Structure 1
Amino acid sequence: MKAEKETNKKTGNNRFRDPNKVAWRSLRKALMVTPSDTWPRPPPFIGGGIRWARCPRPDGEFWAESSDYYQIVWSSEYEKSSKAFQFVQTSHDPQALAEFLYRNPYHLDALIQMSRVYQHHGQMDHATDCIKRCMYVCELSWSENFDVSNGNSRMDYRIETNATFYKALFMYMQQAGRRGCMRSAFELARMIFALDPHGDPVSVVLALDYYALASRQYAFILALLDANIQPVDRFTESARSEVESHSLSSLPNLYLSSALAMFHSGKKEAQEQLAKALLMYPSVLSLLLDACKVRTTSEAWKSVVENSRFADARPLSGDSVLAHVLSIYVTRHSQLWKSENVSDFLYQSAKLAIDSSVLKSAYPQMMELPPSLLKYHRAALQDYTDEVTMLPEDDPIPQQMEQMNQMAVHLPLENIQNGFQDDALSLTGNPLLLFLQSLLPWNVVQTRDN
């Protein structure tokens, strides 16, 4: 799951850290993040930390008795800092946020918020560093029995302390994917999904198949399609009739991605699988063709797109959850359909869809998702793209952030080589500047004892 390990494999960067510059190091090996030598020491539980604890099986459907259930417990000091953070949030002041983080460098919600601030200003390295800190302190706090590898450890998103962990994991997955670390992003997505596969509270299944395809985990997609996982809305749970019961395989993204997985696996039924998906969701064809910039005026494609099955398909309503999920699919997955061989596969499947009377009668157009899948209306489109919303150029970036950027560029080389002692940061400096400086590899923040 270490995205930096995957990055180093691609770039050939296998540098070893200088042991003389390690301020501290945990004896516990981290699974997801290699801690930076410049990070402050995470606090113990009684000093303002957090810990994992077993908890009773939650109320609601599809919480298996055989699974283990956990929740994050805040220490009393962490609770106090969280109350203070609520005031910081209402201020909408990056400097107040940086000052809070300077005093509470491992507060999860504050790190998530600061990561978003950095992203909106295009400082992706600092944004990733914040989320890595989240992941590291969480992993150090895991219970010994909390095993992410067996898929049997569950966490209820409705518990406030657990929700923060979900959010941090989701952001870490996004950041890994944006850096091209697709296998790491896939493993993180799979971990998030395994925490509550039936509830899927952060709608990660809409991205899980993308990262599986991008990292060539084709068998996983096909197994997920056959798993018959029954979805449930954890936020509006109510008794469901058997008629309403549908598995996750009814999601269009899994249907479409399973066809692509079959194609890449050399399975002969791939073309029929995609033809079925195109018949049920005909609007996705034009969406994919537009996103992939396919010239539909060519003689071959013109005969397909002008066929009544696609040209006369009923339009989905503006508030349709199905239309929303299809839009997310095309936004997230269109890159996977752009190669010449995949484009030809799409064409041949569309031809099969309009030529097969058996398929056309067996797979009518779907106008909406089944009731048990309507919960995916909460999925936000911007969470399924590698593009980050940037603030306009004329937006006044905080002066301290500009100062920090200039300082990082012009700092003399000898200051870097002097190590920690000569470049220790004073506690009395500007809070935002201190926090930004603490991210630089040659700085260490002074403690009150040092």
Structure 2
Amino acid sequence: MSARLMKKILKEQEAALHQEDSEDDSESPDSSTASRRNPFDILDEDEDEEKEQHNDSDDVDQVDKSEINDRSSTGKVDMKYSSKTTDTINTSTSSNQRSKKKKKKSKENSHTSTRNPQKSLDVVLENLSVEGDSSCRKDIASHSTEAKVLNTNSNKSVKKSSSSILQIDPKFLSAENELRRIFGSKVVSSFERNNQTGSSRQARGIRRGSQNHRKTILVHPSEHWPRWDGSLTMELLETRDEINYFRYVHSASYSQAQRAFEAAKAIHDLNGIVNILVHHPYHIDSLITLAEYYKFSGELQMSSDATARCLYAMECAWHAMFTPFQGKCQLQYSHDTNKPFFSVLFSHMKNMDRRGCHRSALEICKLLLSLDSDDPMGALFCIDYYSLRAEEYSWLERFSEEYKSDNSLWLFPNFSYSLAICRFNLESREDDKKTESLKASSSDLMKQALMLHPTVLKKLVAKVPLKDQTFSRILGHSIFASEKSGSLSLDHLVNIYVERSYLIWRLPDIQKFLKDSALSVIEMLEKKEADSRDWTCVRKEAFSSDKNEYSHLLVSEFSDSVPTLPPDNLQNFMVDPRLAVNNGEQPANRPVRDLSNRNALAVLFESMLPWVDYGTEHDDHPQDHEG
């Protein structure tokens, strides 16, 4: 470009600027000097404008930066104070006009913010589209206080929504994750590879290639399991008080398999049940029966695998709205189709305990309680055991205080003793010494448990066993001499507690704690500092029923020991399939079993199997049934 043309362009621009400045004389007192300046200096001025805008916004940010950050997280952020408009600058007349106007506005805003910082903060908050209480905006400090209050309220609301004592953490449901935390990833990975090799060899004759299984939370499906057939579904029954009620539903093919299972069960045909699983690999009752058979034959790994297959099938059938881990779903035990799920969960919980995955067992126990508050499986009488084994001491204390919003759990023998052990373990921690003065001591809790349920001590001494001679002298006292409390319900719960939790009392520290507390109780009674009759009245009031209200809970179900049967006795369950008839009808000439020459223990174990039913009919002429 020539110098002459350059001068011409500059003159035209200066004339245009002079004309505009003369019109806006009252607004801009510096217009007389603007015509004598190089228009390219506007670039430098715009850079200064950008710096001033950033400085102004930084001043506001420094007033209460944390407040703006908190409020901007609401998702309504609108960055109107951004300086993007100064990114592109042209030397044309229109761009110069815009830049001069912006400079005037920015100067006015900077003066205003200097005079009234409160107003500038309000402007920023309005630009952020935050809904706030205008009555609280009196000064800068009030905005900071308001932000803190809002954060506190939001935290309280989150706490309130997640404060359910039975809230389940899905990551602790996985036994594999817990085993990795206990033994390390390398050991568990090596063990899993060996198991997968053995399983693939067993399944090689059945099918080849791995199955694409669904991702589930309760169990991890094995590669040799068949593909989910979708024969089981779930339906939403109703929604009441923000709680969704569900029920499992059988498909037509599943109902047909169920009828075949009932027919095979009626004639004790285990072969028929296995045949059902060949055509319907996820028939729940057949898998439960097979799991029980493997358990009594000593094949615990295969029994656990059959139980896990049940859980996998029932989780695949979950409704889209069935979210049991959030505590807003109910699966009532009163529906027949729901009962197998509770039974399988209970068996899976015991399998996790046998593997040493006590935290996983605790989460499953919490799931059982959350699905039906009536607690049909008696999860309330083993949740304290799993809490102690998982070292969830603080949670157990919270549970005893918050569950069902009352404090009556300590009246049960399992909670009465477990809370004392829980407090004993917490007192040994340095971080809990501050709260010792706010709660009853472990010694007081143990004395209370011994006076409320003295029959527990004698059964613990025999079951653990406690071989210290001091316990023999303690049991000689009148308060600990009896094994009966006078209430059938209480005696049954004591038996369940001793059978479930006796392993905890094998620790030397716990035994010494029990011995010292029992001696203190005897000393208090001899000095008449305590009256055992008061505790007798409390027991009678808490367990006033003449009947055993917990007879549906078998003591053997809470035991760690697994009864096994010799192969000869197991063969008695393998009835000849020729006795089966079509349409699931039972033959009229069904032979009656003669139990007179059978081993009593074998008959007892046999009666526990779900497919065994001796009936109630008394046959006076057994020869009439002989073939």
- Normalized against structure 1, the TM-score is what? 0.75
| Identity of matched residues, % | 26
Judging changes above 3 Å, is the alpha-carbon distance between structure 1 residues 398 and 129 closer, same or farther for their aligned structure 2 residues?
farther
**Structure 2 residue corresponding to 1:200, chosen from 375, 389, 410:** 375
**3-state secondary structure, aligned to 1:23:** coil
**Structure 1 residue corresponding to 2:269, chosen from 93, 115, 128:** 93
Q: In the alignment, does 2:474 pair up with 1:304?
A: yes
Query: 1:289 matched to which residue of 2?
Result: 461
Give the Å deviation of 1:316.
3.0
**Structure 1 residue corresponding to 2:210, chosen from 13, 23, 38:** 23
Contact 2:295 2:562 (8 Å CA) reproduced: yes
Query: 1:229 matched to which residue of 2?
Result: 404
Contact 1:51 1:74 (8 Å CA) reproduced: yes
**Structure 2 residue corresponding to 1:163, chosen from 332, 339, 344:** 339
Contact 1:229 1:247 (8 Å CA) reproduced: no
Contact 1:186 1:212 (8 Å CA) reproduced: yes
Query: 1:42 matched to which residue of 2?
Result: 228
Judging changes above 3 Å, is the alpha-carbon distance between structure 1 residues 330 and 361 closer, same or farther for their aligned structure 2 residues?
closer
Query: 2:252 matched to which residue of 1?
Result: 76
**3-state secondary structure, aligned to 1:378:** coil
**3-state secondary structure, aligned to 1:38:** coil
Q: Deviations over 1:197-219 (max 9, x none)?
A: 3x111111111111111111112
Q: In the alignment, does 2:431 pair up with 1:270?
A: no
The separation in 2 between residues aligned to 1:372 and 1:4, in whole angstroms, is: 46
Give the Å deviation of 1:373.
10
The separation in 2 between residues aligned to 1:148 and 1:396, in whole angstroms, is: 38
**3-state secondary structure, aligned to 2:563:** coil
Give the Å deviation of 1:369.
2.1
Judging changes above 3 Å, is the alpha-carbon distance between structure 1 residues 262 and 399 closer, same or farther for their aligned structure 2 residues?
closer
The separation in 2 between residues aligned to 1:36 and 1:111, in whole angstroms, is: 15
**Structure 2 residue corresponding to 1:315, chosen from 484, 502, 525:** 484
Q: Deviations over 1:98-155 (max 9, x none)?
A: 1111111001111111100111101111111111111111111212322232222211
The separation in 2 between residues aligned to 1:67 and 1:221, in whole angstroms, is: 25
Query: 2:451 matched to which residue of 1?
Result: 279
**3-state secondary structure, aligned to 2:238:** coil
**3-state secondary structure, aligned to 1:98:** helix
Judging changes above 3 Å, is the alpha-carbon distance between structure 1 residues 4 and 128 closer, same or farther for their aligned structure 2 residues?
farther
**3-state secondary structure, aligned to 2:246:** strand
Select the structure of larger CA radius of gyration.
2
The separation in 2 between residues aligned to 1:314 and 1:13, in whole angstroms, is: 45
Query: 2:422 matched to which residue of 1?
Result: 261
**3-state secondary structure, aligned to 1:131:** helix
Query: 1:353 matched to which residue of 2?
Result: 521
Q: In the alignment, does 2:535 pair up with 1:364?
A: yes
Contact 1:154 1:195 (8 Å CA) reproduced: yes
Contact 1:157 1:163 (8 Å CA) reproduced: yes
Query: 1:437 matched to which residue of 2?
Result: none
Give the Å deviation of 1:362.
8.2
Query: 1:420 matched to which residue of 2?
Result: none
The separation in 1 between residues aligned to 2:496 and 2:464, in whole angstroms, is: 15
Judging changes above 3 Å, is the alpha-carbon distance between structure 1 residues 373 and 25 closer, same or farther for their aligned structure 2 residues?
farther
Task: Structure 1: state its 5+ residue gaps.
Answer: 58-63, 231-244, 401-450
Query: 1:51 matched to which residue of 2?
Result: 233
Judging changes above 3 Å, is the alpha-carbon distance between structure 1 residues 278 and 399 closer, same or farther for their aligned structure 2 residues?
closer
Contact 1:221 1:261 (8 Å CA) reproduced: yes
The separation in 1 between residues aligned to 2:182 and 2:483, in whole angstroms, is: 46
Give the Å deviation of 1:56.
2.4
Q: Deviations over 1:364-390 (max 9, x none)?
A: 132572559953221101100111121
Contact 1:173 1:189 (8 Å CA) reproduced: yes
Give the Å deviation of 1:310.
2.2
Q: Deviations over 1:211-241 (max 9, x none)?
A: 11111111222122112528xxxxxxxxxxx
| Aligned partner letter, 2:320 | E
| Aligned partner letter, 2:466 | V
- Normalized against structure 2, the TM-score is what? 0.55
Q: Deviations over 1:266-323 (max 9, x none)?
A: 156111111111101111111112222223534xx45533333323x58335x71211
Give the Å deviation of 1:246.
8.6
Task: Structure 2: state its 5+ residue gaps.
Answer: 1-172, 201-207, 428-435, 575-627
The separation in 1 between residues aligned to 2:340 and 2:484, in whole angstroms, is: 38
Give the Å deviation of 1:97.
1.1
Q: Deviations over 1:346-369 (max 9, x none)?
A: 112212323334553685132572
| Aligned partner letter, 2:505 | W
**3-state secondary structure, aligned to 2:517:** helix
Q: In the alignment, does 2:351 pair up with 1:175?
A: yes
Q: Deviations over 1:184-209 (max 9, x none)?
A: 11111111111123x11111111111
Query: 1:124 matched to which residue of 2?
Result: 300
**3-state secondary structure, aligned to 1:376:** coil
**3-state secondary structure, aligned to 2:359:** helix
Judging changes above 3 Å, is the alpha-carbon distance between structure 1 residues 101 and 320 closer, same or farther for their aligned structure 2 residues?
same
| Aligned partner letter, 1:309 | I
RMSD value over aligned CA atoms? 2.9
Q: Which structure is higher in helix share?
A: 2
Q: Deviations over 1:142-194 (max 9, x none)?
A: 12322232222211101001111111111111111122221111111111111
The separation in 1 between residues aligned to 2:547 and 2:233, in whole angstroms, is: 33
The separation in 2 between residues aligned to 1:102 and 1:264, in whole angstroms, is: 51
Q: In the alignment, does 2:322 pair up with 1:146?
A: yes
Judging changes above 3 Å, is the alpha-carbon distance between structure 1 residues 118 and 219 closer, same or farther for their aligned structure 2 residues?
same
The separation in 2 between residues aligned to 1:143 and 1:353, in whole angstroms, is: 54
